[in-house]
Amino acid sequence: MDVAFLDVRAINARHADELKAAAARVIDSGWYVLGQEVDAFEREFAQWCGLPHAVGVGNGLDALLLILRAYQSLGRLVEGDEVIVAGNTFIASFLAVTHSGLVPVPVEPEPSTFNIDPARIEAAIGPRTRAIMPVHLYGQLADMPAIAAIADRHRLLVIEDAAQAHGAIRAGRRAGSFGDAAAFSFFPAKNLGALGDGGAVVTADAELAARVAALRNYGSLEKYRHLYQGVNSRLDEMQAAMLRVKLGYVDADVAHRRAVARRYLAAIQHRDIALPEVVRDESHAWHLFVVRSTHRDALQAHLLAHGIHAQVHYPVPPHRQPAYAGIFAGNLPLTERLHEEVLSLPIGPTLDDAEVARVISACMSFEVRP
């Protein structure tokens, strides 16, 4: 049997009876949009994050986009303002900024953690900079104390892209609780994954939460009264019910991911495979376990020959995508090198000891051929 990169079917099969009961509850309710399941999940997820407000939306991109549009509606951002963002992130971080008429300013990461480098953030701040969007890439918290200090000095908003960081903790605070607002994705492969798309905005700012709640629903908080030019991006009742079930298992799943990661970190000792740096064990939720190799493609092929499915996150950085052709004039040499070297090994809550051992053995048997 091959070792799957992530077995989503097996993850959900563990909770099949609860998920089916939740689905039946929604079907029997006769209420399928913005009902009791969404209300309950928003309360439960906000409490889990340690914040007073959560607003369920259609997906992770919309969560970021609606935060930015809410701040525009509140007069905190205007078209043409700059948002500092990690250069090596998934394209959704960039799309949210540009779809809002704002300007992304990509910044290089720290090579050891893959997260945005606070020193480079400070250097990138200009007269039009209004916000910083740190991405907790691969599940490890960015250096939020340093980023918060920079934001305070320059009076900037901090918008966390926490799409990959469900369960990451620092000093008792969860991902999403460090900035002015944060966006989560519940794509099925996430640490907290729905059975379809979904997302959420979390914040301590009641005014922002109310504005996001209106914007996600055609700009309306009261039926047929539209205060703002909103969109249709509502977390589905069925997905909210699924997420309520799975929220109770996230911490245990993340603990399993951490145990797998510790085994990888201890056992994979190979001169051609660079392991990720972990700043604090609890600050990494291990959505992905990403190694680096200058022989990345050969390593991936070697692993596949041994039945190990590894993936690349991500092969092309956003600023080099055709969607942004001609927009970014500067170079991001570290970002571009990382995208040529990174490889994600299997990691997930259903990976068993034998499968972990197979991944380790396959990595250790890798040979670079001339």
Give the three-state DSSP class for 340.
helix
Burial class of residue 166 (count of CB atoms within 10 Å of its CB; 0-12, 13-18, 19+)? buried
Torsion from C-alpha of 68, 110, 169, 319, nearest 10 degrees? 30
Residue 19 tokens read as 């998920």
- The band of 99, judged by pLDDT with boundaries at 50, 70 and 90, is very high
pTM: 0.97
Residue 117 tokens read as 């480098």
Chain segment 252-273, per-residue pLDDT in tens: 999 999 999 999 999 999 999 9
Q: H helices of 249-330, where? A: 250-267, 296-305
Beta strand 181-185 pairing with 225-226: unpaired
- The band of 370, judged by pLDDT with boundaries at 50, 70 and 90, is confident
Determine contact, residues 49/55, Cβ cutoff 8 Å.
no
Q: What is the pLDDT of residue 321?
A: 95
Chain segment 210-240, per-residue pLDDT in tens: 999 999 999 999 999 999 999 999 999 999 9
3-state helix, strand, coil in the chain (%, to 5): 40, 20, 40
- The band of 1, judged by pLDDT with boundaries at 50, 70 and 90, is confident
Q: What is the pLDDT of residue 329?
A: 77
Sequence-distant (6+) residues with CB within 8 A of 50 are 173, 174, 177
- The band of 326, judged by pLDDT with boundaries at 50, 70 and 90, is confident
Chain segment 10-67, per-residue pLDDT in tens: 999 999 999 999 999 999 999 999 999 999 999 999 999 999 999 999 999 999 999 9
Determine contact, residues 83/133, Cβ cutoff 8 Å.
yes
d(CA 362, CA 356): 10
